[in-house]
Amino acid sequence: MEQLELLWELQKHEDYLKIIKKKLEDLAKTSYIETMTIRIETLEQGLNDKEKSLERNSELFRKNNLALKDLNYQLSKIEKELYSGVVTDLKQLDYMDKESEVIRDDINKLEIDMLSIMEDMDEIRQEIEKIKIEHDKNKERFKESILEYEKITNELREEARKEMDFIYDISSKIEKDIYEKYSSIKENKGYAIAVIKEDECSGCHVIIPIFLLDKVKAKEEIVQCENCRRILYYSTNP
Ligand SMILES: [Zn+2]
């Protein structure tokens, strides 16, 4: 019976369409694109933070440099006075000597500070370079992934369209009452046609009586399982 074969084809295409739709849903759910977007944004944020920190350090370095110039100026002024012979008061000379000592200490500390700022800045610059490389790589990968994602999605959509055409075509060839029976079983049981495997209904695993089995094999009419009411189908190629 051609109608039964049509029903069988219909179920196969409906099943396949379901698989394609599931794949499309899963693809949308994996949210790889979302994850990548977040990763790229995080890197950009990190880059931004590092650049700000570099700016802060460079500002600090500039201020320290001014302070250093000022201290050097003070020191040279004191030393000039100290060795000029103008000041003869011993107490005054002693005071100036100590003062120059303090300034020298300050200069020393400041220079050490500035050296450490320079080292920090070097480190930050290297980190920025690393982030930039990682960022570029990610952007490239992301672009490729989006293309790949679009390609797969388009292919699946195209396949789904083809399956829908098949389903429409097959359905239009099925007699109305048979199609209605198929639909109502499908609605109740999830799927309407059960293949017979080792004389069992694969839908409910009940043994099919011989007389029913012969009827199904003859393929002259639509035969339903006495237990689950599914339409029975006997496949010659397992
Ligand atoms: Zn059954």
pLDDT at 30 over 80: no
What separation in Å is there between the alpha carbon of 16 and the centre of ligand 1?
Answer: 22
Q: What is the pLDDT of residues 119-162, one digit of tens each?
A: 999 999 999 999 999 999 988 988 888 888 889 999 999 999 99
Q: Where are the domains of the chain?
A: 31-173, 176-233
Identify the CATH number of the domain defined by range 31-173.
Answer: 1.10.287.1490
What separation in Å is there between the alpha carbon of 200 and the centre of ligand 1?
Answer: 8
Span 13-22, average pLDDT: 97
Q: What is the pLDDT of residues 81-117, one digit of tens each?
A: 888 888 888 899 899 999 999 999 999 999 999 999 9
CA-based radius of gyration for the chain: 43
Span 220-228, average pLDDT: 95
End-to-end C-alpha distance for the chain, whole angstroms: 19
Exposure letters 68-81 (e unless 16+ CB within 10 A, then b): beebeebbeebeee
Strand-by-strand arrangement of the 231-233 sheet: 200-201, 193-197, 231-233
pLDDT at 237 over 70: no
What separation in Å is there between the alpha carbon of 194 and the centre of ligand 1?
Answer: 7
Exposure letters 143-179 (e unless 16+ CB within 10 A, then b): eeeeeeeeeeeeebeebbeebeebbeebbeebeeebb
pLDDT at 238 over 70: no
Residue that the structure tokens 């029903």 belong to: 7
Q: Which amino acid appears at position 92 of this protein?
A: Q
Q: Which amino acid appears at position 156 of this protein?
A: L
Q: What is the pLDDT of residues 65-76, one digit of tens each?
A: 999 999 999 999
**Residue 141: per-residue pLDDT:** 87
3-state helix, strand, coil split of the chain in percent (to 5) is 80, 5, 15
Residue 31 φ/ψ, nearest 5 degrees = 45, 35
Q: Which helix (H) or strand (E) holds 232?
A: strand 231-233
Residue that the structure tokens 């496949």 belong to: 235
The CA distance from 24 to 21, in Å, is 5
Percent of the chain residues topping a pLDDT of 70: 98
**Residue 219: per-residue pLDDT:** 87
Percent of the chain residues topping a pLDDT of 90: 79
Span 184-195, average pLDDT: 96
pLDDT at 58 over 80: yes
**Residue 208: per-residue pLDDT:** 95
What separation in Å is there between the alpha carbon of 227 and the centre of ligand 1?
Answer: 5
The CA distance from 170 to 52, in Å, is 66
The CA distance from 141 to 180, in Å, is 50
Q: Provide the mean pLDDT of the chain.
A: 93
What separation in Å is there between the alpha carbon of 193 and the centre of ligand 1?
Answer: 9
